[in-house]
Amino acid sequence: MVELWYALVAIAVCVYVVLDGFDLGAGALHLFVARTDAERRAVLEAIGPYWDGNEVWLLAIAGALFVAFPSVLAAAFSGMYLAMFLVLWALAFRGVSLELRGQSKNELWRALWDFVFCASSASLPVLFGLALGNLLRGFPLDPSGMVVLPLFVDFTPAPPTGLIDWYTLLVAVFALASLTLHGALFLASRTGGDLQKRCKRVATLALPVVLALWIACGAASGFVARLTLRPLAIVLLASAMAAFAAIFVMLRRERFGAAFVASSTFLASNLAGLAAASFPTLLRAVDDRASVTAYDAASSPHALGVGAVWFLFGLLAVGALFVRRYLRAT
């Protein structure tokens, strides 16, 4: 049952990044690809039917951790209050800017809300990337199992560590670049004319950047992160490589929908591969002996069993709702 819950958390993370990732990427670059008010409205209309529903999966991740691994949720949040408040503020500003932008008649107010939407959309991949980098590198845990994490110490991943160092910042930049590519491909598949051409140009320029950052993150993780190359992780790595090649081919053929699907596969394969390589560790400590595994942090077998029934039922219901919503919006 512990393995099932670990898989459910990993699946929820993958779904969230793939779905909310494209509207985060679209929001981060919309000021650069949309030159007129009409084009900016076209970008917002492209993501409009999806963005608020996509964020439901963020709640699913928190809910799964709360039910199955509550001590991990408590320990991780204990040292990341600043980062969590920044995430909440960014999520709030995204929603507020979209709503108020549509109600503003003044050009200056619309320009302000466009900037707020762009900045908040770009900040979220960076914050999530920093969190992922810390999970891979390891947290400093005190004797009670709580995270003690300053903002930064000496900008190196060696102890004593902070939230920001060169490794976590590298992962954050990769997250921003890959989601910007993801968003550009989505917009290219949903728009036309000059806006579509600019989105294609951004995606074409982002491809080598994402590849270079991906290789750099992989090489750095070999020194910083303690991952296990299990067969499943190797298969998922091969899947990510094939998906990246497919993005390149489909983009050149201007099959933007297929390129977007390949980008979704690339993101999901990378995250699932990291989950497979990290299992059973959920909260890695700088000192591996203090790391918290899924077995250490799991709730009682009864709670896991009852929770799994309700969570799977909710997952199927939400999945059906999303399929219906996406089909109607297509």
The SS3 call for residue 327 is helix
Q: Do the beta carbons of residue 250 and residue 259 sit within 8 Å? A: yes
Q: Which domain holds residue 309?
A: 2-329
Q: Residue 108 is encoded by which pair of tokens? A: 């200056």
Q: Do the beta carbons of residue 54 and residue 319 sit within 8 Å? A: no
Cis, bond preceding 231 (omega within 30 deg of 0):
no
Phi then psi for residue 192, to 5 deg, are -150, 180
Each residue's pLDDT expressed in tens, for the chain with a length of 330 residues? 888 889 989 998 999 999 989 989 999 998 899 888 888 888 888 887 777 777 778 888 888 888 888 888 777 777 677 778 888 899 889 888 888 887 777 888 888 998 999 999 999 999 999 989 988 888 877 666 667 676 677 777 777 777 788 999 999 999 999 999 999 999 999 888 889 999 999 999 999 999 999 999 999 988 888 787 889 999 999 999 999 999 999 999 989 999 999 999 999 999 999 999 988 888 887 777 777 888 888 888 888 888 888 888 877 777 777 777 666 656
d(CA 77, CA 105): 41
The SS3 call for residue 148 is coil
Our count of domains for the chain comes to 1
The pTM of the full predicted model, rounded to 2 decimals, is 0.91
Choose among 270, 282, 266, 292: nearest CA to 182: 266
Q: Residue 294 is encoded by which pair of tokens? A: 């899924």
